[in-house]
A and B are shown apart, each in its own frame.
Chain A
Amino acid sequence: MAEALDLHLSGIRKRFGPVEVLKGIDLQIPDGQFTTLLGPSGCGKTTLLRIIAGFEIPDAGSVHIGSTDLLALPAHKRPVNTVFQSYALFPHLRVADNIAFGLRSRGIADADVRKRVGEMLEIMRLGDLAKRHPQQLSGGQRQRVALARALVNEPEVLLLDEPMSALDASLRHDLQAELRRIQRRFQITFILVTHDQDEAIAVSDRILVMDHGTIVQDGTPEEVYERPLTRFVADFLGDANILPARRLAADRADAGFAALALAEAPTWDQGHLAIRPEDIEVREQEPAVNGVRGRISERLFRGDHWDLMVEVGDGRSLRVMTEPDQFHQTGESCWLELPPDDLRVLRD
């Protein structure tokens, strides 16, 4: 029964000296979901992962997989495996023996161990490297061994602690796709910790954005990216323009440089709006709604798009992304359109 293996966390608190790292985390992760804990360093995401793994004990709260109380079990008895940031492969063991380690710890018969390790070597495309030592492998290869060493145990939850932070960008892209493929194949709950928003968006079913020991937003990658709830989320994912604003009516707010029409009602008198650089359109003529006159002060060619800084008066500039074939000169004046549907009313 699938539901029996859901992961439940409730009221998790953890304090290191004067710092409260986790301030009461409640969380439910359905079996087989690829969940990402996303946040800057120090937000508590790694501590939360280590609590699930059993390397930290929370000050309060509970962790269950189905009806199994994980906090009652020491780390080496939990049905959970971890892929470590530094890979943490056993330096004295060959690749095949590294992968076999967990099975041998549990006293599984040698023939069975050999069979399962052989299968795992094949799935992870490590067959040729089975007899090598970790020191003889590249970063990407070590990463795959670490993944294989964890997966061969068929854990109920796989924890990944920034598994790609030590790899270069192109390798990271390959491994993101690989990770997604493996998760689909094994149908195991994956919990990934990362500070890289692109990685989170690329691999996850669900993203939990964390800040200062709390979960500030929980949703699919599309939801979290398109509909940020707070200034922190809007800024951390995709670098949105954040505009201080004053409420004028149920569908209008004054952003200082212009009064803007909104698709949703502000919940505050003084607050913030967010709009993504790629949602702002550059126009020749004044648009029908939310047109803003501006002057291009900076432009950077990024290959697949242009990054423009546009001065809009009131001492403010907006970041605008345009297509590579949309050519604008620095110093040029233009109209910007801020579509009401793309203007988010933030909570804070």
Chain B
Amino acid sequence: MAQREVIDGTLTTRARARLRGLLLALPGGLWLLAFLLLPMLSLVAYAFAGRDEFGNIIWSFTWENVQAAIGYDPVGALTADPSDDWAPHHLQILGWSFWVAGVTTILCLLIAFPLCFWIAGRPERWRPVLLALVLLPSFVNLVIRVSAWELLLKHDLFPAQFAQWLGLVGEGMSLYPSSLAVYLAMVSAMLPFTVLPLYTSVERLDWSIVEAARDCYAGAWRTFRHAILSQVGPGLGAAAILTFVPTLGMFLITDRLGGSKMSLVANLVAQKFKAVDFPQGAALGLALVGISLLAVVAFTWLTGRDRRGEVR
């Protein structure tokens, strides 16, 4: 008989404890397998598949889609000069997407940071109410919220009329499509995802460490860096990831409020899939996943620096 011992408060054998752990992980594992891993694998398969002259999928192996995704264009469909094999079009869109997601993330963090400190400073019974208010807008479907922005920014309402009076937009023009409209909608849509992870770390902040920094002659910046940022760093990283990655994949807002000039990589993917060009869409989708992963790694590395003791 296998040796029995107490594991997590139960008398059992090691093999049984392991089996129990596997059973507990099974539903989640199956879920990930069915709805994340398998679709990802099919995405990879499509990304390297070819198409015949009628657009049907041929299950061959080709680099063409991936090359096209990053702008290599042997057919000359995208380039103005047919002798040039490279078209900057896709790379521009990728770079632009990165930029929009980055700006949205920074704006969200700038708004969420003071907001979280303010909420954490309210009496305890008010905090859940205030957090619920932050979350409330996301209970409404995004399509409806985007429509609301369209209504609000229309040419005959106060914001647009004020901008017209200032001469920022032409007479009788609405405030959309524009990058302003995109950022307004992006920030308002993503803010709850920034506030929630950040708030949990702000609420747990040990204020005596802030006092210790003051006590050790630290000025405002040094106190902020070592007493506050060092404590909320992980929350800040989580907030950045949870804002950046979904923003990168957002296409509804740019589609409706950004106009044709503000196409993001997600719009491009959607466009390719709509045009039944699955291999192209899949290759671009893979690029999107790749960027997202890079962003996650970058944020984790940045906020993990404190833990590794690389700061003084």
Q: Which residues of chain A have a CB within 8 Å of any CB of chain B?
A: 53-55, 74-77, 80-82, 84-86, 88-94, 97, 100-102, 104-106, 133, 149-150, 153
Contacts and interface: CB of A to CB of B under 8 A. Distances in A.
Nearest to B305: A92
Contacts of A94: 309
B206 A101 contact: no
Nearest to A107: B217
A319 to B, nearest CB: 39
B230 interface: yes
Contact of B309 (A80, A81, A92, A101): A92
B215 interface: yes
Contacts of A88: 206, 208-209, 211-212
Contacts of A74: 214
A130 to B, nearest CB: 12
B306 A101 contact: no
A17 to B, nearest CB: 13
Contact of B216 (A54, A85, A149): A149
Interface residues of B, number: 24
A84 B211 contact: yes
A218 B309 CA distance: 46
B215 A92 contact: no
Interface in B211-241: 211-219, 222-223, 226-227, 230-231, 233
Nearest to B219: A76
19 contacts: A55-B214, A74-B214, A75-B215, A76-B214, A76-B217, A76-B218, A76-B223, A82-B211, A82-B215, A88-B209, A92-B226, A92-B306, A94-B309, A101-B213, A102-B217, A105-B216, A105-B217, A105-B222, A150-B216
Interface of B: 206, 208-209, 211-219, 222-223, 226-227, 230-231, 233, 306-307, 309, 311-312
B217 A93 contact: no
Nearest to A161: B208
Contact of B212 (A54, A84, A92): A84
Contacts of B219: 76, 105
B218 A105 contact: yes
Given A76-B215, A82-B211, A93-B311, 18 more contacts: A53-B215, A54-B214, A75-B214, A76-B214, A76-B219, A85-B208, A88-B212, A89-B209, A91-B231, A92-B226, A92-B306, A92-B309, A93-B309, A97-B312, A101-B226, A105-B216, A105-B222, A149-B212
Contacts of B211: 53, 55, 75, 82, 84, 88
A66 B218 CA distance: 24
A88 B207 CA distance: 9
Nearest to B215: A82
